[in-house]
Structure 1
Amino acid sequence: MPKGWTTAPLADICLRLVDGSHNPPPAAEFGRPMLSARNVIDFQLLFDGFRLISEEDFAFENARTQVSPGDVLLTIVGTIGRTAVVSEHHPQFALQRSVAVLKPRGIDSRYLAFALNSHDRQQWLVDHAKGTAQKGVYLKTLGTVDIPIAPRAEQTRIVAKLEELLTDLDAGVAELKAAQKKLAQYRQSLLKAAVEGALTAEWRQQHPPAETGAQ
């Protein structure tokens, strides 16, 4: 470990560790979003495919989780280990049990989100998940995972560099997908040309079929 770095259990660097609702309220026509693990993808919180719960039910759920900007969300049931940081631009929302709310203390929220996505931490989460039909990580267990902690100034530099590199990576993936789409279109055009005779049109001109007829 680099000089000046240390490690600490997650519980020691968070003011609170709490998961979402274990008994989600019924859907409502109007109200607040209730999100689940499916809404936490690639360090982002996606507001689609959710259901609404009433304002009264939201108030009850929010009293327990108290989700606020700077909190780190971690998926802990089903697809385990995805993270996102709550932004001040996000609307208020409630959570299902599949997502834990981590309230960092003395550590950069984005740094913690990235640290939890490191290979060793991801493997730890997989190894400590329990259950049969759908595995999950219990909060008490989650609090024991060791987090590498860089000095605060270095955390900021690490986050900035990671965000720069991940942005470049996302751009590269987008370009690759565009190229794959063009290749697929080209493949289809080749197949179409083949079965319509366009690929061998020049050859046919040079090798006209022999004429046959009655003698």
Structure 2
Amino acid sequence: MTAANASKLADIALINPKLVKRPANDELISFVPMSAVDAGTGTTESGEDRPFGEVSKGYTFFDDKDILVAKITPCFENGKIAQAGLHHRTGVGSTEFHVIRPDSSQLEARYLLHFLRKPAIRLAGERRMTGSAGQRRVPEAFLAGLSIPTPPLDEQRRIAEVLDRADELRAKRREALAHLGDLTQSIFLNMFATSSADAWPVTTVAEVARDSKSAIRTGPFGSQLLHSEFVEAGVAVLGIDNVVTNDFRWGERRFITEQKYSQLARYTVQPGDVLITIMGTCGRCAVVPPDIPRAINTKHLCCISLDFNRCLPEFLHAYFLTHPIARRYLTQTAKGAIMAGLNMEIIKALPVLLPPISLQREFLGRLSAVKKVKESHQTSLAELDALFASLQDRAFRGLL
């Protein structure tokens, strides 16, 4: 595919088109918020039915099958670029959408969608963002000036179909992983949220922690640890990004020097500790893995070291996220707003319906079996992601 086959997007598509025909105020339209855009599949929910008169001001208008591009950070970087699939002809949504309407005589919408979702295009858009921190946006001019390969429409449709099929495989793998997550919840509830559980003692998180003053702790506050003290290598510092998915993951790497660690060693995390976010994105939970290097946690996390003879970390992790008693307590204690209401004292007092340790170990065995299947699916998904990226790259270089 040569440069002669390329067109500027503004020449073959309308960008942020005006509303051509204004619906009547009582006509139902599809309301599509940013949260209805699926970054994984490049699709939207069909939208909530709303009378046009309720949403005729202060929103972005688009038609069914238009391409929606989130313009604000972090939605753009997270890949919220999708084709609208609506119940009605007209859609209304966030003002943070750019809307692209391809000229159907020159540009296939699905072909355009796959082009815009290319990592290279998303990276270029991120670099062109304007505005202040937290309010940076992709300018319309970036989209208008994009040079897109434009082979004949039949070829565009063929390429889009190949990429759609490859994307469907990835979607099915992600769906399988989601079902495995649901399976873990079901196993937990079937074992620990039944009528037989009424005979078990009710204790608290504080009472199942190790018998030491620092068994439940947050990280260093204020001048104890400044951002300027982070270095390129040394002792790891764990934060919200390591816990936010409810599984332990390495995110941004932060380190402190050995000298600084000697001052903060009381905040050291250990394998099997349970971490709960108490600032920012509150209420997320993860278990520290056995291969953790030396590390401390920040003030954004509550770290719990358990008495393993009474309570296994994997049980408490699932209990905190799933058990009705835990969820009800957190909701009531935080006055219906868990995101704004967590602190160490709330966590210490959280009631725990404590099953026998033998039953907890049985749960751990079942959890391990599910984890092995999950790891297999994750490996497969990574391979499919790599294959899709290769197909995507080849498609727009005329090599597919």
TM-score (norm 2): 0.40
1:155 maps to amino acid? Q
Q: Residues 57 and 148 from structure 1, CA distance in 2 versus in 1: closer, same or farther, beyond 3 angstroms?
A: same
Find the partner of 1:139 among 329, 332, 344. 344
Is contact 1:85–1:113 with CA below 8 Å preserved after alignment?
no
SS of the residue aligned with 1:83? strand
User: Which among 60, 65, 68 is matched to residue 270 of structure 2?
Assistant: 68
Alignment: residue pair count: 190
Residue 82 (str. 1) matches residue 285 (str. 2): yes
Q: Hey, which bits of structure 1, 4+ residues long, moved more than 3 A?
A: 122-130, 166-187
Q: CA deviation at 1:136?
A: 5.0
SS at match of 2:196: coil
Does 2:212 correspond to 1:43?
Answer: no
**Partners of 1:122 and 1:165 in 2: how far apart?**
24
Post-superposition offset of 1:144: 1.1
- State the alpha-carbon separation in 2 of the partners of residues 86 and 176 from structure 1: 22
* Residue 142 of structure 1, CA deviation: 1.1
- CA deviation vs aligned residue, 1:186-215 (integer Å, no higher than 9, x gap): 99x99xxxxxxxxxxxxxxxxxxxxxxxxx
Query: What whole-Å deviation, never above 9, does each CA across 1:135-182 have from its counterpart, x for those lacking one?
Result: 351111111111221111110001111232344356557767877998
Match of 1:91 among 293, 304, 310: 293
Q: TM-score, normalised by structure 1?
A: 0.69
Match of 1:8 among 187, 203, 225: 203
Q: Does 1 or 2 have the higher relative contact order (CA < 8 Å, sep 6+)?
A: 1
Match of 1:107?
311
Give, as a single letter, the amino acid of the residue that structure 1 aligns with 2:347: L
Q: C-alpha displacement at 1:127, in angstroms?
A: 5.2
Identity of aligned residues (%): 18
Q: Which amino acid aligns with 2:264?
A: E
| Structure 1: gaps (5+ residues) | 191-215
- Structure 2 gap segments, 5+ residues each: 1-194, 396-400
Distance in 2 (CA, whole Å) between partners of 1:51 and 1:171 is 30
Q: 1:29 to 1:116 in 2, by over 3 A?
A: same
How well do the aligned residues superpose, as a CA RMSD in angstroms?
A: 3.6
Is the contact made by 2:270 and 2:288 (CA closer than 8 Å) also made in structure 1? Answer: no
Q: State the distance in 2 between where 1:152 and 1:161 align.
A: 14
